[in-house]
Amino acid sequence: MGIPVWKQGRTSGEVTGLEDCMGCARCIVSCPTDALAIQDVRNLFRPALRQNASHLLKREPNGSIPRGEIVYRPPVERKHDWQEVAQPFSQQALQLQADRCLDCGVPGCRNACPLGNFIPDWLAATARGDWRQAAELVHATSPLPEVCGTICPQHRLCESGCTRGRLEGAVHIGMVEKSIANQALEAGWRMHEPIRRNSHSAAVIGAGPAGLSCAERLNRAGMSVIVYDRSDKIGGLLQSAVPKFKLDKRLLQRRQAILEQVGVRFSLNTSIDAEMLADLLEKHDAVFLGLGAQKSRSVDLPGKDLPGVEQAIGWLHETNRGARASMSGKHVLVLGGGDSAMDCARSAIRLGAKVSIAYRGPEEHLRASPLETDLAREEGVEFYFDHTPLECTGSGAVCGVRFKTPRGNPHISADSIILAMGQQASPPSWLSGFGIATESDGRIRADERGRTTHPSIWAGGDNTHGPDLAVMAMAAGRKAAEDILAGINGFETMRRQA
């Protein structure tokens, strides 16, 4: 449209305050869904008059385009394997879905994305079939678009800001994002190597979402980057705790290869100690800590140490490694109401167990996404709500859990209990020897730019703000990288001026 509010909002994501309204109707005519209207003296004589964009511009209103639903494999089929459960859209369906974007003046989808992804732009490229351009745009802001498109809770992020959501349903942004990355990479598209290398370097400790995001951004700017991780594979909890039916781990292997092609180095199977950190600080301009939150939260529950009681993170790690035997004929009881609880329950179903989830609150307070809850139900998971665990029971081995409920204190028998009650950060104690301050709950103290109390160490992700979404960790890693680069660029400017 070319109007100032549209251009400014597109760039900044901000709207002029109502107190500044001059009645110019620019916001009205930039709304593609006719959701806004202006009222003036004409409405005194014609109360039913709706002066929206279509009325003011004398245009035909935007038509309704059905959202369409993602089709999931039948429960009777999917609960017996570890393949992804969502069926991909066809090429035509993807382009039609992308074409539903209204290209809003102030894009609510982008404003709701922690990474600020250029969503309307890559939707437009997808709609016209330009997958290469779409891939360039999706990678401009996201280090792992195939992951975000797969596991992000789009219903409360980008898709919650989609204007179409007020009509016939939001654009399937996640499915399009995932498809852009996969189709482009399968067709041979590759990230660009830095135009010019500089003399600066950084060490990234932790190959999870935060660390990978930081490394990708620093490498793009020309720094030499090496990523360390104690595991033999990248991804952090994406690799160890997210079930295969939610995230194909081959995507992470492919992403590692792509990052290596553009210059990022990896040192896996490497545990960092105090001596090694001191050496890294000597060799590099900056060190980033992306250690995650991989320690299960401590709970006050009698009997939690009985054989047969396991923590969710450890249980998922063993299951994802393929180290867990069949649980056919067993009853697994999961305590918790978040996505990890659903992951444990649905994984146990695939191991042949009968599975129940007990949650201390009502169903409407579940922290897990509605989709995950629905999929678990379809696969046969039974739910108990308003069940507060009092104790794990058993002699020699666990045999069940006693609960407090509004109707009494029932006992539910089980062969295996999984505690899915959250995680917390647990950085190594020797970090304090480097002047790194931590909070009372173990989180590394860092400001909004990722700066810790050590001048050459940054941190971000779950080890600073606690367990959260992978996309939040990616955003934190990128923000820390940008601060590292700002410091280096400032130093270079001062050196040139000296």
Structurally, the chain folds into a number of domains equal to 4
| 280 & 303 share domain | no
Strands 398-404, 411-413: pairing is antiparallel
Based on the number of CB atoms within 10 Å of its own CB, is 40 exposed (0-12), middle (13-18) or buried (19 or more)?
exposed
Residue 437 to residue 121: CA distance in whole angstroms? 41
Dihedral in degrees, nearest 10, Cα atoms 322, 325, 328, 330 = -110
Q: Is residue 181 part of a domain?
A: yes
Instruction: Please enumerate in sequence order all residues whose Cβ is within 8 A of that of 306, keeping only pairs 6 or more positions apart, or say none.
Output: 392, 394, 397, 398
Q: SS3 for 86?
A: strand
Q: Which residue has the tokens 């081959």?
A: 250
Residue 117 to residue 158: CA distance in whole angstroms? 9
Q: Is residue 238 part of a domain?
A: yes
Q: Is 110 left (phi over 0), alpha (psi -120 to 50) or beta?
A: alpha
Closest-CA residue to 228 (of 210, 258, 206): 206
Q: SS3 for 112?
A: coil
Q: Is residue 279 part of a domain?
A: yes
Instruction: Please enumerate in sequence order all residues whose Cβ is within 8 A of that of 91, keeping only pairs 6 or more positions apart, or say none.
Output: none
Q: Give the range of the structural domain holding residue 26, as residue numbers without chain letter.
A: 4-57
Q: Is residue 460 part of a domain?
A: yes
Residue 152 to residue 110: CA distance in whole angstroms? 14
419-466 tens-digit pLDDT? 999 999 999 999 999 999 999 999 999 999 999 999 999 999 999 999
Note the pLDDT of residue 491: 57
Note the pLDDT of residue 56: 80
On whether the CB atoms of residues 194 and 217 are closer than 8 A, the answer is no
Q: Which amino acid is at 78?
A: R
5-63 tens-digit pLDDT? 444 444 554 555 566 677 787 778 777 777 788 888 788 888 888 888 888 888 777 66
CA–chain centroid gap for 297, Å, is: 21
The verdict on pTM exceeding 0.75 is yes
| 488 & 409 share domain | no
On whether the CB atoms of residues 112 and 154 are closer than 8 A, the answer is no
**Final residue of a domain: which of 57, 77, 101?**
57
| 410 & 302 share domain | yes
- The ranges of the chain with pLDDT < 50 are 1-10, 13, 494
Angle subtended by helix axes 250-261 and 209-220, to nearest 10: 20
Q: Which residue has the tokens 């969710």?
A: 312
Q: Is residue 355 part of a domain?
A: yes
Other CB atoms within 10 Å distance of the CB of residue 52: 19
| 131 & 181 share domain | yes
Q: Which residue has the tokens 């090429």?
A: 91
| 403 & 433 share domain | no
* CATH (domain of 331): 3.50.50.60
Q: Is residue 62 part of a domain?
A: no
Note the pLDDT of residue 215: 98
Q: What are phi and psi of 481, to 5 degrees?
A: -60, -40
Q: Three-class SS string for 5-51?
A: HHHHHHHHCCCCCHHHCCCCCHHHHCCCCCCCCECCCHHHHCCCCCE
| 152 & 232 share domain | no
Q: SS3 for 331?
A: strand
Instruction: Please enumerate in sequence order all residues whose Cβ is within 8 A of that of 40, keeping only pairs 6 or more positions apart, or say none.
Output: 23, 51
Q: Is residue 161 part of a domain?
A: yes
Residue 407 to residue 416: CA distance in whole angstroms? 25
| 158 & 262 share domain | no
**Final residue of a domain: which of 154, 186, 218?**
186
Q: Which amino acid is at 492?
A: E
